[in-house]
Amino acid sequence: MPNSRGRLALERFQKALSWFESPVMTLEPPGESFMRSRSNKLVLFGVVLLMAGLAGRAAADTTPESRTQAKPAVSAPSATKAPSPKPSPKASKKPPVKQKAVAISAKKASGPAGSRMTTGTRAVALTFDDGPDPVQTPRILKLLAQQHVHATFCLVGRNVQKHPELVRQIVAGGHTLCNHTWNHDLKLGKKTAAQIRADLTRTSAAIHKAAPKAKIKYFRAPGGNFTPGVVAIARQLGMASLYWKVDPRDWDHPKGETDAQHKKRVISRVEHNTHPGAIVLSHDYAQPDTIAAYQTLLPWLKKRFTLIGL
């Protein structure tokens, strides 16, 4: 170790010095004392110089290594540019998924004389015409209640007069009412404005007599035979004219067609032609096969569409 070396050199120097000063030196003859004394002093001086050199070297060895070792040069910090932030990875572009519009333009989906033929939304509306029927109307009301579906009933004034209790059942079920003329007049649009107004007013009066607080929101011309005059008068009486988008022709019974075939045809046409926003035309008056068809159609439609009563 560096400190032990220094101490060892110092001890040797002290021993040498004590040797020259020891009593042995006084035993020399008197004649040689002067020369011996001078010679001894020179030797002693040389030894002192030698010891001093060794002591200095030893002292130098005691210098901490941290002083003898060159410290690494500290370079000035280079003005390095801060790394520019990496742009966040862009999401991979996926082809846009085409979505059907929620709202459907009433202008593009208008029927004859500006009548309404779609719901204006993605919902589908079921409509039943020509009733009320004492047998078939209760059947369809029961099916609708079981499926928690509301529909629109287009009522003929003459039948309303005969079965007012069915009108009240329709209203109690939360369904929508529609004026379908007094006697299902297919040529009403060709009559005078006064005659048209009288027919519609008479029909609405019969409905209100059966259900005083009921609101009649729509009018449907028999056979879809709308004219500008009929539509205008219905509007003046507070009713919007209601056409349809899907007609399964359930009222048509070709010769030779069985009940099973008729039912199958109605189901097929409704399933293949009903799309979002459609208004579906059907009949409850004297149409038992239509009611049977809706036993299948109602669950099928409900799984695919929101069904509303308009």
Long-range contacts of 267-275 (CB under 8 A, 24+ apart): 267/293, 267/296, 267/297, 270/246, 270/297, 270/301, 271/297, 271/300, 273/245, 273/246, 273/248, 274/124, 274/246, 274/301, 274/305, 275/245
Cα separation, 184 vs 221, in Å, equals 8
The pTM for the full model equals 0.67
Cα separation, 29 vs 126, in Å, equals 153
The one catalytic residue in 130, 283, 284, 289 is 283
State in words which class domain 112-308 has.
alpha beta
Ramachandran assignment for 184, one of left (phi > 0), alpha (psi -120 to 50 degrees), beta (any other): left
pLDDT given at position 110: 86
The one catalytic residue in 129, 133, 199, 250 is 129
Q: Going residue by residue through the chain, which has 310 residues, state the pLDDT in tens, using 9 for 90 and above.
A: 545 555 655 565 565 545 444 443 443 444 444 444 555 555 455 544 555 554 445 444 444 343 334 343 343 344 444 444 454 444 444 443 333 434 444 444 589 999 999 999 999 999 999 999 999 999 999 999 999 999 999 999 999 999 999 999 999 999 999 999 999 999 999 999 999 999 999 999 999 999 999 999 999 999 999 999 999 999 999 999 999 999 999 999 999 999 999 999 999 999 999 999 999 999 999 999 999 999 999 999 999 999 999 9
Is 262 designated active site? no
By the 10 Å C-beta count (0-12 exposed, 13-18 middle, 19+ buried), 247 is classed as middle
Cα separation, 163 vs 199, in Å, equals 19
Coil, helix or strand at residue 246: strand
Cα separation, 147 vs 143, in Å, equals 6
Is 184 designated active site? no
